[in-house]
Structures are given as structure tokens and as C-alpha cells.
């Protein structure tokens, strides 16, 4: 494997991370929480110096369909995994006829669905949030969850896009 190779979770891998069903080795499970397409294999080796079986575990996760490997040269500028396209699509949803609160709510729901799926309990809570303060409180809760299961950068994009939509 090339030191510049980056690994991202597949939909199956994201589901396994959120709702474990497979008896994975502890190091494989740990990798599911770290791999977000931002760290190269070289950076992973540096970060996990004690993992003598890092590549073996990456291959195991890839063979099980939980991750995919991507050479940096095949990525578009600014893209680090398949979720970037989904976030960008969610950010471009039509806003005609929506007030700013409903626009922000829909923006939050669209992004969260693209990152975690429609069955996430946070999606229901976002839809049910009452008023701007209620929406902002739920956005904060979603941001914490996204930081833990996706990445800090995705959580920041999520929060900033909702705040921008609220401003109009």
C-alpha cells in the first residue's frame, strides 16, 4: 500500500460503526472510528505506532466491505471522502418559499441524513425542534455526535451551514 492512500468508510462501515453487528477485532473497531479519508496511510502508521498489524487490519476491513482505499491523486481538490458530495448536495437544496427557520431546519436535516441516514434519532429531533432556540440546541447535540462518529470538520460544516441559513 502507498503511504498516500486514504481510507474512507463505506455505507456498510458507517452502519457498523453506529450499530455494531460483526465480531471485529478491537483494533479493527478502533480503525472504524478513525478512518474518515483525511489521514494517509503514512499518517496512520505514525499515529498507530504500536499497531504492528495495521495494514493487515486495513485489508481485513476492506475485504469485509467496511472501508475503501483511495489514492490521493484520484481525488478532486478539497474532497476527502464520498460524504463531501452528499454534504454539498444537501447545502444546495431549494429554499424557494421557505422562511429562514424552516430553511435552516431543512438544511440541518438534509446534511444529517447524508451523514448518518434518515433513521438517526437526531433527524426526528431536528424536525420536531420548536423555534430557533430549540433548533440551535438540537444542532449543538448533533454537532457533538457528528464530531464523534464522522469528523470534527463535518460537524463544523454542519453547524456553520445551519447558522448561515438562519441568518438568511
**pLDDT per position as a tens digit, 71-98:** 655 444 444 445 555 566 555 555 555 5
Residue-level pLDDT at 55? 92
Spell out the domain ranges in the chain: 6-74, 83-167
Residue-level pLDDT at 89? 58
Residue-level pLDDT at 104? 86
Question: 21-25, 78-82, 121-125: which range is least confident on average?
Answer: 78-82
**What is the end-to-end Cα distance of the chain in Å, rounded?**
47
Residue 147 has pLDDT above 60, yes or no: yes
Mean pLDDT along residues 105-131: 83
Residue 164 has pLDDT above 80, yes or no: yes
pLDDT digits (tens, 9 = 90+) for 37-57: 788 888 898 888 888 899 999
Question: DSSP secondary-structure letter at 21?
Answer: -
Please answer whether residues 84 and 90 qualify as being in contact, where contact means their C-beta atoms are separated by less than 8 angstroms.
Answer: no
Residues 166 and 168: their CA atoms lie apart, in Å, by 5
Amino acid at each position: 500500500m502507498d503511504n498516500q492512500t486514504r481510507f474512507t468508510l463505506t455505507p456498510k462501515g458507517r452502519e457498523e460503526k453506529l450499530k455494531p453487528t460483526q465480531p471485529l477485532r478491537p483494533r479493527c473497531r478502533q480503525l472504524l472510528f478513525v478512518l474518515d479519508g483525511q489521514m494517509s496511510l503514512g499518517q496512520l502508521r505514525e499515529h498507530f505506532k504500536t499497531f504492528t498489524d495495521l495494514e493487515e487490519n486495513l485489508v481485513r476491513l476492506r475485504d469485509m466491505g467496511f472501508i475503501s482505499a483511495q489514492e490521493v491523486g484520484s481525488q478532486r481538490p478539497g474532497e476527502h471522502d464520498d460524504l463531501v458530495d452528499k454534504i454539498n448536495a444537501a447545502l444546495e437544496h431549494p429554499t424557494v418559499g421557505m422562511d429562514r427557520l424552516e430553511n435552516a431546519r431543512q438544511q440541518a436535516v438534509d446534511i444529517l441524513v447524508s451523514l448518518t441516514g434518515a433513521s438517526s434519532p437526531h433527524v426526528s429531533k431536528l424536525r420536531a425542534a420548536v423555534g430557533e432556540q430549540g433548533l440551535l440546541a438540537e444542532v449543538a447535540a448533533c454537532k457533538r455526535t457528528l464530531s464523534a462518529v464522522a469528523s470534527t470538520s463535518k460537524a463544523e460544516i454542519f453547524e456553520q451551514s445551519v447558522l448561515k441559513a438562519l441568518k438568511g
